[in-house]
Structure 1
Amino acid sequence: MTKHKIYTMSVASVYPHYVTKAEKKGRSKAEVDEIIRWLTGYSQEELGAQLEKQTNFEDFFAEAPQLNPSRNMIKGVVCGVRVGDIEEPTMQEIRYLDKLVDELAKGKAMEKILRK
């Protein structure tokens, strides 16, 4: 079975799109970074290093220091697929991130986005 194209894409190539999506709705790059850090456990410095070295999505999530145990509370649909129904672990992590950025762009409060 061939890997989905997103797995081999660098997080750095998609990251500006996350930031642009958030900023168009009056949110900030700092909030996007906070979401990514919450989901993955990377520090701001580690996140910057991952972006700088063009880490692909598969390695980005495989090397994540501490995937947040509360991420299973992320519900909803991304690209027509319910995130909780995605069986492939890496794809589910990518879709969790997509869903969190969507929630940010829709104006949801950070406390709710971060499942506090």
Structure 2
Amino acid sequence: MEKPRIFNMSFSSIYPLYIQKVERKGKTKQEVDEIIYWLTGYDEVSLQQQIKDEVSMEQFFNEAPCMNPKAVLIKGVICGYRVEEIEDDMMRKIRYLDKLIDELAKGKAMQKILRA
């Protein structure tokens, strides 16, 4: 079966879109980065390296140092799908990030976004 197109898209092409989305709502790149660090275990240096290397979304998540175990607490609808019901593990990870960015853009408190 053919992989969804998003798997092969470069993270470096999607990352600026996340930033643009939240900046339109008065949020910052630093907050986007904080969400990515929390979800994936990347730090500033390793995140910038992934962007520089133009890795695919699939590679970005496959190489994530440590997916946060609290990610399973991320629930709700994104792109018309309930994230907790997405069967494909890779697609679920991608949608987790989409959902967190969406919550930030909607003004949700960072403490709640990070499931603290």
Q: Aligned partners of 2:71 and 2:61: how far apart in 1?
A: 13
Q: Aligned partners of 1:83 and 1:11: how far apart in 2?
A: 20
Q: Aligned partners of 2:89 and 2:97: how far apart in 1?
A: 13
- Say whether residues 1:23 and 2:23 are aligned partners: yes
Q: Aligned partners of 2:55 and 2:35: how far apart in 1?
A: 18
- Offset at 1:115? 0.3
Q: Aligned partners of 1:61 and 1:80: how far apart in 2?
A: 22
What is the TM-score when the length of structure 2 is the normalising length?
A: 0.99
Aligned residue identity for 2:55: T
- Say whether residues 1:40 and 2:29 are aligned partners: no
Q: What is aligned with 2:49?
A: 49
Instruction: Give ranges in structure 1 of 5+ residues lacking alignment.
Output: none
- Offset at 1:94? 0.3
Runs of 4+ in 1 over 6 A off after TM superposition: none
Identity percentage of aligned residues: 57
What is the TM-score when the length of structure 1 is the normalising length?
A: 0.99
Deviations 1:19-65 (A, max 9, x none): 00000000000000000110000011100000011010111111100
Q: Aligned partners of 2:13 and 2:102: how far apart in 1?
A: 18
Once the two structures are superposed, the pairs formed by residues 1-116 of structure 1 within 5 Å of their partners are 1-116=1-116
Q: Aligned partners of 1:82 and 1:45: how far apart in 2?
A: 32
Q: Aligned partners of 2:44 and 2:55: how far apart in 1?
A: 15
Q: Aligned partners of 2:100 and 2:44: how far apart in 1?
A: 18
Task: Quote the RMSD (CA, aligned, Å).
Answer: 0.4
Aligned residue identity for 1:14: I
Deviations 1:61-106 (A, max 9, x none): 1110000000000000001100000000000000000000000000
Aligned residue identity for 1:104: L
Equivalent residue of 1:55, what SS?
coil
